[in-house]
Homo-oligomer: A and B are copies of this chain.
Amino acid sequence: MSDHDVFLADCPARTTLDLVADTWSVVVVFGLGGGPHRYGELCDRIGGISKKMLTQTLRKLERNKLVERRVLATAPAGVEYRLTPLGQSLLGPVSVLARWAEEHAEELADDASAP
């Protein structure tokens, strides 16, 4: 890009963040952490997510091979989602973030999400 490559912006941590830093990805991954779930189940389990965002998030996770989609041959038909091994491998790193938040909850401003 430029002559001197001080472009910290492509630090690898950002790659992971690009993947899961949106509002719902992590929540969905955790939602599937306990095992496969059907679309509707997942929606209920998560609570507060719109169907649009659930679908959109699942598609993104699918494209990145974190989640696998299977159409069930049951009646009535359904669709099941599960974490791939790659998706499961992400549970660890994300749990590390979760633990950090729990340990330091009191030190953080209460409006951590504010710009």
CB distance from A12 to the nearest CB of B (A): 4
- Whole-angstrom CA separation of A108 from B64 in the bound complex: 5
B64 near A18 with CB under 8 A, answer: no
A9 near B21 with CB under 8 A, answer: no
Contacts of A8 in B (CB 8 A): 27, 30-31, 45-47
Query: How many copies of this chain does one complex carry?
Result: 2
Within 8 A of B (CB), among A43-96: 44-49, 56, 60, 63-65, 86, 89-90, 92-96
What's the dominant secondary structure at chain A's contact region? helix
Contacts of A12 in B (CB 8 A): 97-99, 101-102, 105
A13 near B89 with CB under 8 A, answer: no
Given A9-B48, A48-B9 in contact, is the A16-B100 Cβ separation under 8 Å? yes
Given A47-B2, A64-B109, A86-B107 in contact, is the A101-B7 Cβ separation under 8 Å? no
